[in-house]
Amino acid sequence: MITLIKEMKYWLDEHTQNIQYIKKLAVTSAVSDTQSTTLGMWWDVIRDVIFFITYSFFMLVVRGRGSGGELMDGIPTFVYLFTGLAAWYLISDYLTNAVGCMVKNKGIYTKIKFPIMIIPTYEVLAIFIRRLITFGIVTVLLIFVTLTSDYVPHINIFGLVYSIVASIAFGIAYTLFMSGFYTISKDFRELYRAIVRIQFYFIPIFWSIHSLPGGNRLPEWTAKVLENLPFIHLINTFRYAISLGQFPPLLNVGIFLIWLFVLFAVGCYLQYRLQRIYADFV
């Protein structure tokens, strides 16, 4: 325990000493991926609009849902879909782009002495900055649905703020934990990518954990377990805060904080131990 406290303090010291540096690097990283294109960050808007249209087409035509005022967890189907997609896109970027942050930034810490502990933080913040475009599109869609139907969104400000802060904290803790394995083992990297590709289908975007497909063949506690997994907790917290005006139950928040602390503590331990040998693997 003393060792973990020491390593978490080391993480905190690196961040307090480099807070301005983190802000600058986060902004720089947020725009760097599209700097070489003509439209720049407008590609983020175009990509998100294409995805929303595609999944809406799938929901309306392929599954035949959303055209008759159906509700999922008390939310209109389309609203349920695109609020879930927006939260998932953010989490998905954490699982893919943020986890590869050590490989992406190898040109920095292999050439100069650099506070490696801050890399996951500024990469997660960069992803969040870019995903503000996605949340802007969701806001437009909510306004459109409100103007063209009887639906009125009920927004819980505290729930919305909690979902934003919790998603950033989770992204940092998860990246601290997972990026070490991702960086030092190419075999793990390939396995991880394969798992991440199929995770989308196990996340409640098109379905609800309270009405699981084949739910009558699953134990009653299945929904309770699923709703307390970090990914699902974050998605539903955002979805219910912006659509139903709900704050997550305190028990669920407590379980999420336990997940967060474990990932963060173990992540600090791994990064502290691995930072001296990263250059040998990348």
- The pLDDT of residue 36: 64
Q: What is the mean pLDDT of residues 250-276?
A: 92
Q: What is the pLDDT, as a whole number, of residue 105?
A: 83
Mean pLDDT to the nearest integer, 192-221: 75
The residue with greater pLDDT, 210 or 20, is 20
Residue 226 in this model has a pLDDT that exceeds 90: no
Domain count, the chain: 1
What is the per-residue pLDDT for 196?
87
Supply the pLDDT for residue 77.
81
pLDDT band at 143, cuts 50/70/90?
Answer: confident
pLDDT for 168 equals 95
Is 262 or 57 the better-scoring residue by pLDDT? 262
What integer pLDDT is reported at residue 233 of this predicted model?
93
Domain with 90 in it: 2-31+40-281
Q: What is the 3-state secondary structure (H, E, C) of the chain?
A: CHHHHHHHHHHHHHHHHCHHHHHHHHHHHHHHCCCCCCCCCHHHHHHHHHHHHHHHHHHHHHCCCCCCCCEECCEEHHHHHHHHHHHHHHHHHHHHHHCCHHHHCHHHHCCCCCCHHHHHHHHHHHHHHHHHHHHHHHHHHHHHHHHHCCCCCECCHHHHHHHHHHHHHHHHHHHHHHHHHHHHCHHHHHHHHHHHHHHHHHCCCCCCHHHCCCHHHCCCCHHHHHHCCHHHHHHHHHHHHHHECCCCCHHHHHHHHHHHHHHHHHHHHHHHHHCCCHHHHC
Residue 62 has pLDDT above 90, yes or no: no
